[in-house]
Structure 1
């Protein structure tokens, strides 16, 4: 069979994957804290028809190798952790990280390693715990769930994550401090849905995760901005342009298969 037919099939498979990623990006264009993905291609090992021959003194010149490519494969599917635009909500429990840090959230207080998220749309539940919209517990700088004391009548959140509390006595004091985490390689995080990421061995050394404070020059976690949310970093103009490129690439590879089929048909028709 013709090699070109299988090359065309590999190209169509690759562009199908690219369209899947583009479709997911566009679907999440309004998802708070969403980070877009992209597909990178790489060529498959080429078939060598003849190898390289070196030059021999000044008598015979060298010859280059003759190689035929065998198609394309997926090189990587990257998550682009560039910052999304800020959306002002004026809700004091809506938080945005102005930097590279991630919020830490847990399913329960017994969970050892928290999940990470950039979506800061938080709420207070009936137990006065700071939670996500799915009920996950938001953690402080020590990795413990955050709870607002009952005698607190009002509170605000500073840029370093410190909860400034006003008591029913009229006094003002500090509560827990919202924690952030800095990841060495954010692209190494595993997406688990619900705007959550799981730490992996390629995100931090040995898969370790150390909660720290916000607005820290030492750790570079970034400041916490209250009353704002980070929107998706999906660029619709770029996504639709990439969609056109993927569509035309898919069509071109389908033409390769059609042409290869016509050539095979001519070969079959040689014997009549």
Structure 2
């Protein structure tokens, strides 16, 4: 049988994979913090019809190898980790990471020590009835807890990053660190260094903790696991934790959300390319079939 039949099949399979990726990108055009993907191809092994020959002593020149390729295959499905644009929301628990394409928020399903962490660019956070800082699906947001709330005057929240990351919360009430009963929260805010400040009923502001960010040696190696989250992998490297605005880490902006980095113009152009490539590969199959038909018709 003609090898072109099978080469055409590999081409159609590859373009179908590309179309699957394009469709997924388009479906996530409004997904918070989504990173688009692209498909790259590489050729398969080639059939050697004649080996290369070097020049000989009789003055005859060298001859190149005669090879016929046997099709194509998907080389990679790259994740494009470039940052999406930040959109203003005005909500004080919405956060976007600025100037830090390599930085991710750290979350945990239960917040227990030793549990594998997961990572996300989706900074839409919430508080539950216990004051726990959570993601939209209930995962705990991780960071550096202040333990006993410390008065903001003269306190450097950067000192918190020396400890292990743990779950963060914004408690409704706290014992007065200076003595004198229970204090009730009046307001809270999170600045661009990730420091959580709570203002309580005595009129004082207290440091409650600091949001953590994670960096990776190879963020392209992270594995998507759904729910806008990633797992580390053998090729991403282990995470390095730090605080927003620290050296090498991004800055977080309260009241903003990172949008998807999908470019619809690019995706629709690639859709046309994939469609035409698929069509061309199908034509190579039908043409090969017509050639076989002509061969069969030699015997009438």
Q: Tell whether the 8 Å contact from 1:179 to 1:213 is kept in structure 2 after alignment.
A: yes
1:136 to 136, 139, 145: 139
Residue matched to 2:11: 11
Are residue 125 (structure 1) and residue 128 (structure 2) matched?
yes
Paired residues, number: 267
What's the TM-score once normalised by structure 1's chain length?
0.96
Higher strand share: 2
- Cα distance per residue 1:148-193 (max 9 Å; x no partner): 1223221111111011221111001211100000011111111100
Give the superposed CA RMSD: 1.0
- State whether structure 2 residue 230 is matched by structure 1 residue 176: no
Report whether the alignment pairs 1:145 with 2:164: no
Quick check: 2:216–2:240 contact (8 Å CA) kept in 1?
Answer: no
Residues 1:69 and 2:72 aligned together: no
Give the Cα–Cα distance (whole angstroms) in 1 for the partners of residues 231 and 202 of structure 2. Answer: 42
- Measure, in 1, the Cα distance between the counterparts of 2:30 and 2:186: 34
1:55 counterpart residue number = 55
In structure 2, list runs of 5 or more residues that go unmatched: 145-163, 174-184
Contact kept in structure 2, 1:52 and 1:65, CA below 8 Å: yes
Taking the aligned partners of 1:203 and 1:167, their CA distance within structure 2 comes to 42
Counterpart of 1:241 in structure 2 is: 269
Alpha-carbon contact 1:102-1:116 (below 8 Å) kept: yes
Task: Write the distance in 2 (CA, Å) between the matches of 1:210 and 1:186.
Answer: 12
Q: Separation in 2 of the partners of 1:59 and 1:185?
A: 53
Hey, which bits of structure 1, 4+ residues long, moved more than 4 A?
A: none
Which of 89, 108, 112 matches 2:115? Answer: 112
Listed as ranges, the matches of 1:254-265 within 5 Å are: 254-265=282-293
Q: Which structure has the bigger radius of gyration?
A: 2
Deviations 1:168-227 (A, max 9, x none): 1100121110000001111111110000100111101xxx3343211112xx11101000
Task: Say which is worse superposed, 137-146 or 124-133, in terms of deviation.
Answer: 137-146
